[in-house]
C-alpha cells in the first residue's frame, strides 16, 4: 500500500516518510538530511531501494562499488545465512563510524562490500559535454548527443554489506558490573582471535545485513523533487518491464516471419529494391517528339 501512496504529499511529511521506511528498515533514525538504518537481507534491500525510488520520485545510479555486492557472493542462499570460505586476512570489527554507521551491539562483523549511488541529477564530471566545439561542422550533432541532465545534485545513497557472527558475540555478563575495561578488552581480543582462526580455515556461517543511508528531500539540490517534472523523470517499474517482455515473447514467435524474416525473404526484398533503382535510372523520352523513320528509296 505504500507504493500506491501519493508521492508528492507522502514524502514531504517527515512523519509519514519515517513511517514508510520504518516498516522495512530497522533501527531507523535521522542524521542530518539522511535516514539511516539496516535491513536483514538482499531481498529486503531491493524492496527498500524500490520503495525509496517510487516514494521520492527520484532515480539513482551506481557511482562506486567495492567488494562483492551480489546475492550470489559468499554463498548466499536466500536464508540470510552466509557461509564464508577461507578468508586470508579478515578485518573484524565491533563497530564502525563510517557512513552509514554500524553501532556496537556485542556482535563482531566483517565488512564485505560498499556501494554508493548518486542522484541522476548529480555532479557534472565531463567538461566536454558542456563545451561543444562551435567551429566543428557537426556542432548541431554535438549538441544533440551531449546534452546531459546532470545539475550538480549532491544527494547519494550509501549501502554497506556486512556479515555478522552471533555465535561469537560478547554477552552482557561479560560487560557487567565489576568488569574492568582491561578485562573487556581481553575478552574481545580472545573472541576475535578464535573467530579469525576459524575464518582462515574456512566454512564459517554468519548473518548478512545491509546498513543503508537514504537521502531526505533536503539533501537534493538544483532540481525539483515534487510535481510533474519530478514524476516525468521516473523510469519504468521493473514489474512493468518484466510483464512487457513476457507478453512480447509470447506474441512474437521466432517462427513468425512478420518479425523474424528468413535470409531468403531478405534477399528477395534486396533484389526487388535493386530492380526498382535500375528502372529509375533509365531515361525516358516522349514518343511524340520522335520523327518517323523515312523510307529508303
pLDDT at 3 over 80: no
pLDDT in tens, 135-150: 555 545 554 455 678 8
Given pLDDT bands bounded at 50, 70 and 90, which one contains residue 75? very low
pLDDT at 293 over 70: no
Count Cα atoms within 13 angstroms, Cβ side, for 194: 11
146-158 mean pLDDT: 85
pLDDT at 275 over 90: no
Output the CA torsion 255→259→262→264 (10° steps): 130
| Coil/strand/helix, residue 288 | helix
pLDDT in tens, 173-187: 777 777 888 888 999
Query: Among 117, 40, 115, which residue's Cα sits nearest to residue 76?
Result: 40
Least confident of 153-157, 253-257, 289-293: 289-293
Would you state the pLDDT for residue 284? 55
pLDDT at 279 over 50: yes
Residue indicated by cell numbers 549501502:
159
Would you state the pLDDT for residue 214? 94
d(CA 68, CA 210): 13
**DSSP label of 289:** G
Would you state the pLDDT for residue 289? 52
* Greatest mean pLDDT among 8-22, 132-146, 188-202, 231-245: 188-202
Would you state the pLDDT for residue 9? 41
Give the residue with greater pLDDT, 238 vs 17. 238
Given pLDDT bands bounded at 50, 70 and 90, which one contains residue 82? low
102-117 mean pLDDT: 92
Give the residue with greater pLDDT, 126 vs 64. 64
Given pLDDT bands bounded at 50, 70 and 90, which one contains residue 72? very low
215 φ/ψ angles, rounded to the nearest 5 degrees: -80, 140
pLDDT at 236 over 80: no
Would you state the pLDDT for residue 180? 85
pLDDT at 62 over 80: yes
pLDDT at 22 over 80: no
Please name every residue paired with 116 in a beta bridge, in sequence order, or none if there are none: 64, 158
119-136 mean pLDDT: 66
pLDDT in tens, 244-253: 777 777 666 7
pLDDT at 213 over 50: yes
Would you state the pLDDT for residue 23? 80
For 206: left if phi > 0, alpha if psi spans -120 to 50, otherwise beta; the answer is beta
What are the start-end ranges of the E strands in 55-135? 60-66, 81-84, 92-93, 109-119
Give the residue with greater pLDDT, 140 vs 160. 160
- The helix (run of H) or strand (run of E) holding residue 68 is none
pLDDT at 81 over 70: no
d(CA 242, CA 12): 30
**Cα-atom radius of gyration of the chain, to the nearest Å?**
32
- The helix (run of H) or strand (run of E) holding residue 38 is strand 34-39
188-196 mean pLDDT: 91
**DSSP label of 194:** H
pLDDT at 215 over 70: yes
Amino acid at each position: 500500500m505504500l507504493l500506491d501512496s501519493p508521492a508528492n504529499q507522502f514524502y514531504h511529511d517527515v512523519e509519514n516518510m519515517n513511517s514508510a521506511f520504518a516498516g522495512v528498515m530497522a533501527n531507523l533514525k535521522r542524521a542530518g538530511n539522511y535516514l539511516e538504518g539496516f535491513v536483514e537481507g538482499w531481498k529486503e534491500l531491493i524492496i527498500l531501494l524500490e520503495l525509496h525510488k517510487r516514494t521520492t520520485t527520484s532515480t539513482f545510479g551506481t557511482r562506486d562499488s567495492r567488494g562483492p555486492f551480489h546475492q550470489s557472493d559468499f554463498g548466499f542462499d536466500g536464508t540470510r545465512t552466509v557461509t564464508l570460505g577461507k578468508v586470508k586476512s579478515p578485518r573484524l570489527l565491533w563497530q564502525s563510524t563510517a557512513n552509514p554507521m554500524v553501532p556496537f551491539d556485542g556482535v563482531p562483523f566483517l565488512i564485505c562490500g560498499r556501494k554508493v549511488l548518486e542522484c541522476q541529477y548529480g555532479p557534472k564530471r565531463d567538461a566536454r559535454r558542456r563545451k561543444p566545439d562551435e567551429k566543428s561542422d557537426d556542432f548541431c550533432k554535438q549538441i544533440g548527443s551531449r546534452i546531459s541532465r546532470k545539475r550538480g545534485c549532491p544527494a547519494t545513497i550509501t549501502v554497506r554489506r556486512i556479515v555478522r557472527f552471533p555465535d561469537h558475540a560478547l554477552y552482557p555478563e561479560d560487560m557487567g558490573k565489576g568488569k574492568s575495561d582491561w578485562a573487556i578488552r581481553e575478552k574481545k581480543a580472545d573472541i576475535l582471535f578464535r573467530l579469525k582462526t576459524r575464518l582462515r580455515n574456512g566454512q564459517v556461517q554468519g548473518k548478512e545485513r545491509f546498513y543503508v543511508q537514504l537521502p531526505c528531500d533536503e539533501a537534493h539540490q538544483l532540481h525539483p523533487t515534487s510535481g510533474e517534472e519530478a514524476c516525468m523523470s521516473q523510469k519504468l517499474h521493473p514489474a512493468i518491464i518484466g510483464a512487457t517482455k513476457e507478453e512480447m515473447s509470447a506474441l512474437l514467435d521466432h517462427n513468425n516471419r512478420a518479425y523474424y524474416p528468413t535470409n531468403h525473404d531478405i534477399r528477395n526484398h534486396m533484389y526487388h529494391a535493386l530492380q526498382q533503382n535500375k528502372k529509375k535510372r533509365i531515361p525516358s523520352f516522349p514518343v511524340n517528339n520522335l520523327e518517323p523513320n523515312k523510307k529508303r528509296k
